[in-house]
Amino acid sequence: MAKPIFYYKIIKSRRSKFGGTDETAEVYEVKNKQIVKIGETSWATRGYKGAEGEIMDVLLKHKKISQDEYDKSANKNSGGGYYRRDLNNFVIKEL
């Protein structure tokens, strides 16, 4: 069985006054041969776990992935949500 593929698109990016950038992305999935929006998320790049990790938060919130899947690539102290293509049973791609 093929891994499900989720997509994200950065819709806003601006310089933060604290360093790095503040980014906002929309998250999508393909359903019945159509691209459907799942949700939206924002993060600051100055201390984050990667865009894919932020997208995983949206996927978990909307029950597109399980808590076990979310925790799969976690370190002991990280709390999960770090995307690892080799460990996770889904794919996240940028549009």
Taking residue 66's Cβ as centre, other Cβ atoms within 10 Å add up to 12
Q: Which residues span the domain enclosing 38?
A: 5-94
The pLDDT assigned to 40 comes to 95
Name residue 26's beta-bridge partners: 9, 40
64, 72 contact by CB (below 8 A): no
Question: Predicted confidence band at 79 (pLDDT cuts at 50, 70, 90)?
Answer: low
Question: Predicted confidence band at 80 (pLDDT cuts at 50, 70, 90)?
Answer: low
Mean pLDDT of the chain: 85
Going by the DSSP 8-state scheme, the letter that residue 90 receives in this structure is S
> What tens digit of pLDDT does each residue of 9-30 get?
999 999 988 788 899 999 999 9
- pLDDT(35) > 80: yes
> Once rounded to an integer, what is the mean pLDDT over residues 38-49?
84
* The pairing of beta strand 21-31 with beta strand 34-44: antiparallel
Report the amino acid identity of residue 88. Answer: N
Query: Among residues 57, 2, 5, 61, which one has the least CA distance to residue 28?
Result: 5
d(CA 19, CA 68): 33
The number of domains in the chain is: 1
